[in-house]
Amino acid sequence: MRKVEIIGYGTCLPENTVEFDGQIRYRVGEGEKETQLTLAEKAAEKALKKAALSIEDIDLIVSASAVGVQPIPCTAALIHEKIAMGTDIPAMDINTTCTSFITAVDTISYLIDAGRYENVLIVSSELASCGLNPNQKESYELFSDGAAAVVLTGCTDSKSEILYGMQATWSEGVHATEIRGGLTGMHPRCHDESNKEDYLFDMKGIDVLSLAAKKLPLMFTAFLEHSSLTVNDIDCVVPHQASKALGLIMKKMNIPYEKYIDTVSLYGNMVSASVPVTFCNAIDEGRIQKGDVVLLCGTAAGLTTNFLAMRY
């Protein structure tokens, strides 16, 4: 049990929306000034305000995003420039693609519990629209841009805590979800008409789904066993809003409809920002209350899967 508490949270979605078959997607519009960093900055400011803290109270800034802003430096340093310039606050990136937020909370909670840091700002921000491929209808119509931030704090008098975390990576699926070009594997100077799709998001949806359907139920069974939790103990499941197949995967894991949140039609898949945006909205809507047992979970490119149970 790691004694940590989320004492502040905030989200920021682009103002511009688009619709595909009645499904709403948030995307930074052409010529608008919103960027991955402005979304991150606004979400972070809201989280600090909710926590009634100023940036000087923060001991660590973590960027928990899939795709960065620049190859160098890390995204957390660029967020630092927006919100913490002039301070000594350390900044680091933690990345497991779509589940980066869960991995960051899971990992950093150990450092808070051990007393290394007291207040940690974790920010997930994504500009998915920047890398979508119009020739891949499924993913082109699925993703949204967005950001969310939380302040994770050590606690002694609250009931809040991390109950159990588990992660697995199955690299059989490593090429089922990727953007191949942009870094050392394929430098931007090689970009041309013949390979331009290599620099865009490429998802083999069926492959991801079949690998996830095969692996997830077994892993979830192991998770429940190791954590000594039952599905009944869990008040709310906050899954990564991966796709319209979310309900199918939840069914495979025997999680009843009333336990989990599915907002794919309202927000789409915001990559790493999906889990924290869904989480923050659920708190605001009263669906998650203080003291509730919440399961954050999701499947990410890799293929990586995370489960993290916490008492909120």
Q: What would the x/- binding string for a copy of itself be over residues 192 to 211, using CB under 8 A?
A: ----x--x-x----------
**Tokens standing for residue 47:** 């989280």
By the 8 A CB rule, do 67 and 97 touch?
A: no
102 three-class SS: helix
Contacts 24+ apart (CB under 8 A), 176-180: 176/203, 176/204, 176/207, 176/208, 176/211, 176/301, 176/303, 177/97, 177/202, 177/203, 177/204, 177/208, 177/300, 177/301, 177/302, 177/303, 178/202, 178/301, 179/67, 179/131
Q: How far is the CB of 165 from a copy of itself (least distance, A)?
A: 8
Cβ-Cβ contacts under 8 Å for 24 (sequence gap 6 or more): 17, 18, 265, 266, 267, 268
Residue 11 or 129 with smaller CB distance to a copy of itself: 129
Q: How far is the CB of 133 from a copy of itself (least distance, A)?
A: 11
Asked if 228 interacts with a copy of itself (CB under 8 A), we say no
Q: How far is the CB of 274 from a copy of itself (least distance, A)?
A: 14
Q: How far is the CB of 51 from a copy of itself (least distance, A)?
A: 20
Asked if 172 interacts with a copy of itself (CB under 8 A), we say yes
Cβ-Cβ contacts under 8 Å for 103 (sequence gap 6 or more): 64, 94, 95, 96, 167, 306
Residue 10 or 173 with smaller CB distance to a copy of itself: 173
Asked if 301 interacts with a copy of itself (CB under 8 A), we say yes
Asked if 77 interacts with a copy of itself (CB under 8 A), we say yes
Q: How far is the CB of 195 from a copy of itself (least distance, A)?
A: 10
Half-sphere exposure of 212 (CA within 13 A, CB side): 30
Residues in 120-159 that interact with a copy of itself by CB under 8 A: 127, 130-131
By the 8 A CB rule, do 240 and 98 touch?
A: yes
Q: How far is the CB of 209 from a copy of itself (least distance, A)?
A: 17
Calpha distance 124→284 (Å, rounded): 18
Question: Residue 310: in which H helix or E strand, if any?
Answer: strand 304-311
Residues in 50-69 that interact with a copy of itself by CB under 8 A: 61, 66-69
**Tokens standing for residue 273:** 């920002």
Nearest in space to 227 (alpha carbons), one of 180, 293, 280, 312: 293
Asked if 217 interacts with a copy of itself (CB under 8 A), we say no
Q: How far is the CB of 34 from a copy of itself (least distance, A)?
A: 11
Q: How far is the CB of 22 from a copy of itself (least distance, A)?
A: 28
Residue 5 or 145 with smaller CB distance to a copy of itself: 145
Residue type at 89 in one-letter notation: I
Asked if 269 interacts with a copy of itself (CB under 8 A), we say no
Asked if 88 interacts with a copy of itself (CB under 8 A), we say yes
- Binder among 14, 154, 276, 302 for a copy of itself (CB under 8 A): 302
Residue 130 or 266 with smaller CB distance to a copy of itself: 130
- Binder among 14, 165, 239, 298 for a copy of itself (CB under 8 A): 165
Residue 219 or 236 with smaller CB distance to a copy of itself: 219
